[in-house]
Amino acid sequence: MVTRTEKRRWPLLLLIIPFIATLLPFLYNSYQPELIGIPFFYWYQLLWTILGALVTGIVYWLKA
Amino acid sequence: MVNVVALSVFIVFFILVTVLGFVAARWRRGDLSLLNEWGLAGRRFGTVITWFLLGGDLYTAYTFVAVPGLMFNSGATGFFAVPYTIVAYPLVYLLMPRFWSVARKHGYITASDFVRDRFGSSTLALVVAFTGILATMPYIALQMFGIEVSIAQMGVPVEAALIIAFLILAAYTYTSGLRAPAMIALVKDLMIFTVMIAAIIVIPIKLGGFGNIFAAAHTKHLSAIAQGTTFRDLLTTPQAQLAYATLALGSALALFLYPHAMTGVLSSSSRQVVKRNAALLPLYSLMLGLLALLGYMAIAAGTGVTSQPAFHNYKANGAVPSLMSWAFPDWFAGFAFAAISIGALVPAAVMSIAAANLFTRNIYKEYFRPNCSDREESTVAKVVSLVVKFGALLFILLVPATNIINFQLLGGVWIIQTLPPVFLGLYTNWMHRWAMIIGWAGGMIAGTWMAVANNFASSVFTISLGNVKIAAYIAVYSLLLNLVLTLILTPVFRALGVPSGKDNTQPSDYEEEGLAALPKEPLMEELA
């Protein structure tokens, strides 16, 4: 079987981004700014469910 | 009082799902007397089916009942489930394709099969299998509990209804194997998404917007401070922040060590399917986050929720069914209860299959009948899947409800102790088999001890070092102890000349794309 010779490793480093963004609560532990009445703490993390998926999607697309 | 309308809708959907469960046996027909077919559905699921199956499998009654209940009771801390299911997927992307490749190459059906081959140790494999079964049992019981709270809200006798649900589940899992939950997962997910979208639109409108919902949570926060209780709508102390982060990280590390998650991964048809799903599954995490907010909506609804039967009997764990009854007409509430209950049946089925695979492959065949035929192997797995579910049923009927969620907490502490051989083992065989066994034992004992010392009331343990207080998830402490023991004892065992096991895998086994000859299926054809 032919393995893909262009396989890249570096995009895997991008996978660390969701960890930094969501596992350091002091980054987002506040009420303000609110979005449609939802405190920052809550909508920021909800937003990261989508951003986290995007990061993984980009890594896949970069063929890591 | 029995709610006839809700119950009728509930029963209609249960019948639909039961029929599907039996029909599934004929779906992409395979020889169900082989464990590979019964327990992994022939490893043929493409991206779409795997997405539904894993989504249906990982997002369980814990998501629909326990997480909103935790938000209702404890506030912001309960939201850790969101970062948990965000960081789980980068880990999946790194680890699971390697696991898929080596399992395909060597025909592994369980993580324990892999550990046995990788470290040449049947004892270590037994430890992994035992832990997997042990951690799965209370998780299945939690699924039954999810069904119980929904049934209670309809005013139906709980025991009788649970036994019926159990019999249905047991019968179609026995005949159809993994095909049944995979097919039902499609229905489950459509139902859950429908309920979620309706809830997230209708309930905030009824309550006057998200501003009012969070204002109610903040009022509860202020009165909790005044009364000295623990509800907070933000992480108000450094301890709470560390606890939050470790709960998220520890749960994420544990998630794909659970046998039912592994089974979902191994039933997929290629490495690419696994990778694509690591990017697509977080859509469920968004749903989980929105469902978590139902806990706050239940707070805002006030006596509208607290006066309902499910809340009366199950307190915060009855918050979601109670909220559904308060917010929706009976027929839609019945639909929502069916969604929650079917949502619990799918993971319960996969969990019992995964536990049965472990028992059959790594205990029965390994220790009792090394020469058993393929047919016998599959028969034993079917019977064990019944025994496992029956055990969970007894558990739910005999053990008080609050303890069930606590046992599930212990399940997470236990399963994470298999991380060194399973996850680290995917990258290196450096660890000595006996070092890992001792590390496992240390982690199991320390983790269980901390949970007992907490009276099972919390999964966060506080350690005082002089004036500094550290609060973190029990699973993380015990995993650290396990890793330190493994790290220190490996060179010790080497120095003592204790032989390492033979590694039967090659580095290239972890990278292979798998059988390229498999036909590439168009997405929609998968569903046919």
Partners of residue B211 in chain A, C-beta under 8 Å: 34, 36-37
pLDDT of residue B523: 47
Residue with tokens 């805002």: B300
Tell me if B348 sits within 8 A of B169, measured CB to CB.
yes
Chain B contact for A63, CB < 8 A?
no
Chain B contact for A28, CB < 8 A?
no
Q: Do A60 and B211 touch (CB under 8 A)?
A: no
B278 vs chain A: nearest CA distance in angstroms?
A: 7
Check: complex ipTM more than 0.90:
yes
Paired with B470 in beta bridges are B463
pLDDT of residue A5: 47
Partners of residue B209 in chain A, C-beta under 8 Å: 36-37
Rounded to an integer, what distance in angstroms lies between the CA atom of residue B49 and that of residue B35? 20
Q: Do A49 and B93 touch (CB under 8 A)?
A: no
Q: Do B209 and A36 touch (CB under 8 A)?
A: yes
pLDDT of residue B514: 61
Q: Do B279 and A25 touch (CB under 8 A)?
A: no
Judged by phi (left if over 0) then psi (alpha if -120 to 50, else beta), residue B522 lies in: beta
Closest Cβ opposite residue B513 in set A1, A26, A37: A1
- Pick the closest to residue A54 from B286, B293, B523 (CA basis): B286
pLDDT of residue A8: 78
Q: What is the DSSP string of A6-58?
A: T--SGGGGGGHHHHHHHH-GGGT-SSPSPBTTB-HHHHHHHHHHHHHHHHHHH
Tell me if B153 sits within 8 A of B337, measured CB to CB.
yes
Q: Do B211 and A37 touch (CB under 8 A)?
A: yes
Q: Do A1 and B512 touch (CB under 8 A)?
A: yes
Model pLDDT for residues B76-88, shown as the tens digit of each residue:
999 999 999 999 9
Q: Is the pLDDT of residue B518 over 60?
A: no
Tokens (6 digits) for B381: 């797995």
Tell me if B80 sits within 8 A of B394, measured CB to CB.
no
Residue B400: pLDDT band with limits 50, 70, 90: confident
For the ranges A28-32, B218-222, B250-254, B465-469, the lowest mean pLDDT is seen at: B465-469
- Name all domains of chain B by residue range, CATH numbers in brackets: 4-403 (1.20.1730.10)
Which range has the top average pLDDT, B21-35, B358-372, B481-495? Answer: B481-495
What is the pLDDT of chain B when averaged over all its residues? 91
Alpha-carbon Rg for chain B, nearest whole angstrom, is 23
Closest Cβ opposite residue B241 in set A16, A18, A25: A25
Q: Which helix (H) or strand (E) holds B472?
A: strand B468-473
Tell me if A17 sits within 8 A of B51, measured CB to CB.
no
Average of per-residue pLDDT across B509-516: 74
pLDDT of residue B155: 87
Q: Is the pLDDT of residue B397 over 90?
A: no
pLDDT of residue B515: 56
A7: closest chain B residue by CA:
B511
What's B310-348 look like in SS3?
Answer: HHHHHHHHHHHHHHHHHHCCHHHHHHHHHHHHHHHHHHH
B516: closest chain A residue by CA:
A1
Chain B contact for A27, CB < 8 A?
no
Average of per-residue pLDDT across B150-156: 88
pLDDT of residue B25: 84
Q: Is the pLDDT of residue B128 over 60?
A: yes
Q: Which helix (H) or strand (E) holds B464?
A: strand B460-465
Rounded to an integer, what distance in angstroms lies between the CA atom of residue B362 and that of residue B126? 6
Closest Cβ opposite residue B210 in set A22, A37, A50: A37
Q: Do B280 and A1 touch (CB under 8 A)?
A: no
pLDDT of residue B457: 81
Tell me if B13 sits within 8 A of B335, measured CB to CB.
yes
Q: A with B: how many residue pairs have Cβ under 8 Å apart? A: 109
Q: How far is CA B357 from CA A35, B46, B299, B385, in A?
A: 47, 22, 42, 8
Q: Which helix (H) or strand (E) holds B460?
A: strand B460-465
Partners of residue B214 in chain A, C-beta under 8 Å: 37-39, 42
Q: Is the pLDDT of residue B526 over 80?
A: no
Model pLDDT for residues B6-48, shown as the tens digit of each residue:
999 999 998 998 898 888 888 877 888 888 888 888 888 999 9
Q: In this predicted model, which residue has the larger pLDDT, B450 or B372? A: B450
Tell me if B154 sits within 8 A of B341, measured CB to CB.
no
Q: Do A52 and B234 touch (CB under 8 A)?
A: no
A16 vs chain B: nearest CA distance in angstroms?
A: 8
Percent of chain B with pLDDT over 70: 97
Partners of residue B83 in chain A, C-beta under 8 Å: 22-23, 45, 48
For the ranges A45-54, B28-37, B213-222, B311-320, the lowest mean pLDDT is seen at: B28-37
Q: Which helix (H) or strand (E) holds B471?
A: strand B468-473
Tokens (6 digits) for B35: 């464990």
Rounded to an integer, what distance in angstroms lies between the CA atom of residue B272 and that of residue B267? 13
